[in-house]
Amino acid sequence: MLYNREFFDKGLERRHTGCEKWDADFIHVDTLALWVADMDFACAEGIQKAMMERAMHPCFGYNSDEQAYVDAFCGFMHRRHQLEIHGDEMLRLPCVVTGLKTCVQAYTEEGDPVAIFSPCYGPFAMSVESNGRKLVSVPLLLDDEGAYHMNLSGMEEALKGGAKLILLCNPHNPASRCWEKDELEALAKLAKDYGVTLVSDEIHADFVYKPHKFTSMLQVEKENVVALFAASKTFNIAGLQQAQLVTANKALLEKAEQVLNRNGIACGNTMALVGTMAAYNEGEEWLDGLMEYLDENRQALSEYVKEYLPKAKLTPISATYLAWLDLRAYGKTCDELKELFDRHGIALTGGTFFGAEGEGFMRLNFGCKKALVLEGIKRIAKALEE
Ligand SMILES: Cc1ncc(COP(=O)(O)O)c(C=O)c1O
């Protein structure tokens, strides 16, 4: 199979497969779904083949802690990011959000303040608040170009105020931002100076556009850092539910393991393990093709926004396939925008899902065939003319 433009240009019809993106209650027959973060592309052939082969063996009993799984994940991280991970530094998780919640429970007590940069992927705040911890939202700094920057002095204030844990999104969703090494170093230093643990959600690690380069928090600091990874976004297999928690700090690893045990979270779904291993071992050609395609979509999107939405501001995209559109100049709240867009057949994610700073913004997922990106922008423009 050739994973070229032609392959990705085919897109994928996903309605009636029970998928969240296209089959949710509020998606109508003619709605264009550019919201939840998975992509409308067929996954790499090797993933499907490996699962089909495994399905032919008619027993789905408990799975062992296979070394082959560890080798697949560690091999991929080394090849792709020059990141060395050892098998005894990792725990398997059903998903990354389980990892965020596990870390909140493992490294803080009820009532403790936990700091995040906002806007940020909604489940960060939910992981803090649903566990009875106090959310400290440190607003990212937004410049005139619409780009976000780390608010280190704001984070220092949060730490002075007693924050016990930092949850970082690296690269950042929804700010479409690859954090550079010096920014990560400055944040890691702060965390260390104040003696707090830093949890880095690195689920978007593989979606970084040149000349930027992904740096894992684990490549900056090992002692007080826990990182969360998954093949789910990278290879478009989020429904399989498989992720990893990694830390070189044995005490932090043990605490996380205890929480998983206490909550009865046992991980190792047969198909998830087989599919994820195949992705890490055989998916890189697909991933390279995908990144070229997404890069073209990213550039096209920027042109479309200039042409059709002159009052909008698109945050510069150095990472992720999620675009953050500042529509505040149109003077509408997210609820109003959602209602308006719904009538015009376009579904995006409302900015307030990412915190109060997201009011007036919408997030658009461009992990789909390019023609749909253009159609989406045209529908948004038409809606805003109303
Ligand atoms: C930053 C971030 N973390 C976690 C997730 C969800 O991951 P999972 O499905 O593994 O819980 C997403 C999904 O969009 C995300 O953007």
* 303-338 residues labelled b (16+ CB within 10 A) or e (exposed): ebbeebbeebbbbbbbbbbbbbbbbeebebebeebb
* Third-level CATH fold of 5-44+284-385: Aspartate Aminotransferase, domain 1 (3.90.1150)
Task: Please state the φ and ψ torsions of residue 316, each to the nearest 5 degrees.
Answer: -55, 140
For a substitution probing ligand 1, which of 20, 21, 92, 121 has the most ligand atoms within 8 Å of its CB?
A: 121
Per-residue confidence (pLDDT) for residue 141, from 0 to 100: 98
What does the CA dihedral 76, 79, 80, 85 come to, rounded to 10 degrees? 60
Distant-in-sequence contacts of 336-340, Cβ < 8 A, 24+ apart: 337/362, 340/383, 340/384, 340/386
Per-residue confidence (pLDDT) for residue 137, from 0 to 100: 98
* 3-state secondary structure at position 237: coil
State how far the Cα of 322 lies from the Cα of 207, in Å rounded to an integer: 10
CB 300 within 8 Å of CB 133: no
- 5-44+284-385 and 59-281: same fold? no
What contacts 183, CB < 8 A, 6 or more positions away?
Answer: 149, 150
> 347 CA distance to ligand 1 centroid (A)?
19
Check if 290 has its Cβ closer than 6 Å to any atom of ligand 1: no
> 322 CA distance to ligand 1 centroid (A)?
12
Separate counts of helices (H) and strands (E) for the chain:
13, 15
Per-residue confidence (pLDDT) for residue 143, from 0 to 100: 97
Per-residue confidence (pLDDT) for residue 65, from 0 to 100: 77
> 101 CA distance to ligand 1 centroid (A)?
12
Per-residue pLDDT for the chain (386 aa), expressed as one digit of tens each? 799 999 999 999 999 999 999 999 999 999 999 999 999 999 999 999 999 999 999 999 999 878 999 999 999 999 999 999 999 999 999 999 999 999 999 999 999 999 999 999 999 999 999 999 999 999 999 999 999 999 999 999 999 999 999 999 999 999 999 999 999 999 999 999 999 999 999 999 999 999 999 999 999 999 999 999 999 999 999 999 999 999 999 999 999 999 999 999 987 899 999 999 999 999 999 999 999 999 999 999 999 999 999 999 999 999 999 999 999 999 999 999 999 999 999 999 999 999 999 999 999 999 999 999 999 999 999 999 98
Closest to 318 (Cα-Cα) out of 147, 200, 187: 147
Determine the Cα angle at 43 with ends 38 and 47, to 5°. 125
Check if 96 has its Cβ closer than 6 Å to any atom of ligand 1: yes
Per-residue confidence (pLDDT) for residue 268, from 0 to 100: 81
Give residue limits of the domains in the chain.
5-44+284-385, 59-281
Residue 210: burial class (beta carbons within 10 Å; 0-12, 13-18, 19+): exposed
pTM for this prediction: 0.98
Check if 121 has its Cβ closer than 6 Å to any atom of ligand 1: yes
* Third-level CATH fold of 59-281: Aspartate Aminotransferase; domain 2 (3.40.640)
- Find residue 172's DSSP bridge partners: 177
> 126 CA distance to ligand 1 centroid (A)?
13
Per-residue confidence (pLDDT) for residue 383, from 0 to 100: 98
Check if 321 has its Cβ closer than 6 Å to any atom of ligand 1: no
